[in-house]
Amino acid sequence: MPPTYLEGVLYWMSELRLGQSYEMAIVSFDIATNVFDVIPCPSCIAMWNEGPCLAFVAELEGMLCAILANPVAEELDIWKLENIQ
């Protein structure tokens, strides 16, 4: 998935190999300051690592959201991420 842009920051879902924990996270890059950051995912996304599901971030109504899509079950789980600094 391509990165999501929101208020001068690019966001994307990490690979499972990021860091020492083998958990998924959201990576951000502030375009104005050239600073990377890592934002924890909701636990059900962070620990997900198998099956047909896809994890990604998106902007919905001006908010950053983490999404877990299961195409087999035709389900989307969406978490609105608030107070991201």
Segment 36-65 mean pLDDT: 81
Domain interval for residue 16: 4-81
The amino acid occupying position 33 is T
Q: Within 13 Å and on the Cβ side, how many CA atoms surround 62?
A: 1
Predicted TM-score of the model (pTM): 0.79
Q: What percent of the chain has pLDDT over 70?
A: 80
How many folded domains does the chain comprise?
1
Whether the per-residue pLDDT at 59 is higher than 80: the answer is yes
